[in-house]
C-alpha cells in the first residue's frame, strides 16, 4: 500500500516538473501593464465605433439584419462594462495602497 502511494506521489511530482518545464520554454515576451491597457482601450473603442456604424446602417436601411446589429451592440456593451470593472478594480487597488501606512 505504501509503495503504491509513493508511486502516485512520484508520478505527480514528475508531471508537475514536466508542466513547469513546458511553461518555461513557451513563455512569450512580457508586455507592460500600460501596453495591455492601451491595447484593451483601442479594442473597446473599435467595438464602440463598430456598434455605432452598425446602428447607423440599420437606421438608414443599409443593414437589414437586426440580429447582427444587436450582436454588435452587445459586444460593445459587454466590452465597455468589462473595461469599467477593470478600471474600478484598479482604482480600488490604488486607494487601498494610499490607505497603507508606511
Q: What is the pLDDT of residues 30-59, one digit of tens each?
A: 888 889 889 999 999 999 999 999 999 999
What is the Cα–Cα distance from 93 to 17, expressed in whole angstroms? Answer: 34
Global confidence as pTM: 0.64
- pLDDT value at residue 102: 79
In the chain, % helix, strand, coil (3-state, to 5) comes to: 85, 0, 15
Residue 14 binned pLDDT confidence (cut-offs 50, 70, 90): confident
User: Is residue 80 pLDDT above 90, yes or no?
Assistant: yes
- Return d(Cα 68, Cα 47) in angstroms, integer: 13
Residue 17 pLDDT more than 70? no
Amino acid at each position: 500500500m505504501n509503495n503504491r502511494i509513493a508511486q502516485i506521489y512520484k508520478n505527480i511530482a514528475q508531471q508537475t516538473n514536466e508542466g513547469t518545464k513546458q511553461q518555461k520554454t513557451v513563455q512569450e515576451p512580457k508586455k507592460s501593464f500600460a501596453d495591455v491597457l492601451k491595447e484593451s482601450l483601442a479594442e473597446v473603442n473599435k467595438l464602440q465605433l463598430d456598434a455605432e456604424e452598425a446602428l447607423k446602417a440599420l437606421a438608414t436601411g443599409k443593414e437589414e439584419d437586426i440580429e447582427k446589429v444587436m450582436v454588435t451592440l452587445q459586444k460593445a456593451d459587454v466590452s465597455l462594462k468589462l473595461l469599467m470593472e477593470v478600471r474600478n478594480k484598479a482604482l480600488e487597488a490604488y486607494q487601498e495602497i494610499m490607505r497603507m501606512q508606511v
